[in-house]
Amino acid sequence: MFAPSQHDVRRFFCDAYRKHRDGSPVTPLEALAADWIADHPEYHPDFADADAAVAAVYDPDQGRENPFLHLSMHLSITEQVSIDQPRGIKQAYELLAARRGSPHEAQHEVMECLGQMMWESQRSGLPPDGDQYIACVRRRATRD
């Protein structure tokens, strides 16, 4: 199983951003990452310097979100939806995206559910509960 380090992840996003900017060939995963980076121009300075990105510390107390974590979650959700794993995420996400009128906004709402599931798993010491995750996305898809 592939388990990239924090530095690997940060360099991956920086390389995808650089290649996209330069018009260099990219892998399918880099193309997907570059699309999400394009949707987040507020993060472009974070991706412009790979060495600075590797050294950066994102402290929640400073009120700044970690752009690498945020984009990693976008990639994870995109993969989950593409293979419908956990089963039902594709339908729940598509319903949410249609309801919100924005796949990007829907992804951000799914992130909240994903983060909650992971937090609860870490807190309890139990495996992540995919059914609760899907239920959270469905609740968001059926409320205004």
List pLDDT tens digits, range 68-83: 999 999 999 999 999 9
Residue 119, pLDDT above cutoff 70: yes
Backbone angles phi and psi of 104, in degrees to 5: -65, -45
Residue 61 corresponds to which tokens in the numbers above?
């107390």
Token pair, residue 18, equals 């650089």
Residue range 40-75, pLDDT digits in tens: 999 999 999 999 999 999 888 888 889 999 999 999
What separation, in Å, do the N-terminal and C-terminal C-alpha atoms of the chain show? 39
Give me 96's structure tokens.
């949410």
What is the model's pLDDT at position 2?
67
Q: What's the CA gap between 96 and 136, in Å, rounded? A: 11
C-alpha distances (whole Å) from 67 to each of 1, 30, 73, 107, 130 are 24, 16, 10, 15, 25
